[in-house]
Amino acid sequence: MKNQVCIVTGANSGIGEETALSLAKLGATVILLCRNYERGNITLKNIISESNNKNVELMLCDLSSQNSIFDFTSKFKNKYDRLNVLINNAGILLNKRTISVDGIENTFAINHLGPFILTNSLLNLLKSSSPSRIINVSSSAHYRTNFDIDNLQGEKKYSSFDAYCKSKLYNVLFTYELSRKLAGSNVTVNCLHPGFIPTNLFANSLFFYKAIVKILSPILIDAKSGSKTSTYLATSKDVENITGKYFVKCKPRKSSKISYDKSTSKNLWNISEKLINYNKSAEGRI
């Protein structure tokens, strides 16, 4: 992975931290994309120390804010002339319905729309750096919901867990639609279920944290184990030409039936584009 530039979102803890550490140990230049400077800086120091790799950098971005995303991508492209791996790892599960600074429901904003904007804003750089890879961390939770075009952001009926499940379905739909748009570009995009890990994902929902630990304790794994599929998709030669797939334990698996519906993925893409405030981007449309 030497001379490879990688971005890992949500890299200050859990799966993101372990994935970033693995890439750093392989010699990659790794950008830890985090919202909080203090926590991110602690992780930065730990990864540099453990990997003996000084080419690790902390950069800040709040995925709930479109302005913050555009600000980051502008700074990144001014500093780096290539991007080989983008891992959209950050995710959140909230106690209640809250709204972002852009007027978007926060689970939708952070888990789907933020990665959607980030990826598209970096797409030209990924193409010019090809072969390159995009990895979206989804979840098997996507099997537990459906696509309701009239309630994408919980406008009519809201459940914290269903909002999370829907966002993970959106990750899969986004992956498949993007893979079709990138056909022939030498940029691959895949998604994955990392396993059941009691990480900071549940930091904002103590109820869900306790429930997950109690119900799933026989199959819970640690963050290091949970990062294996992300790292595999980012580095393995076995998948260098594989795109548009859903992986579990480093193996392709069948995702939910609705996730393969092309009209649904196109609808989600078009709706997502309409929610972007292009006035906040110095570069205009992504």
- Give the pLDDT score at 50: 97
CA atoms lying within 13 Å on the CB side of residue 127: 13
Taking 50 as the pLDDT cut, the residues of the chain under it are: 202, 205, 209, 213-219, 282, 284-286
- Give the pLDDT score at 207: 55
* Global pTM value: 0.90
CB 23 within 8 A of CB 8: yes
- Give the pLDDT score at 211: 52
**Token pair for residue 278?**
């292009």
Active site residues: 164
- Give the pLDDT score at 195: 66
- Give the pLDDT score at 215: 47
* Helix 228-235 with 14-25: angle, nearest 10 deg: 40
Compute the residue count for the chain: 286
- Give the pLDDT score at 280: 53
- Give the pLDDT score at 227: 84
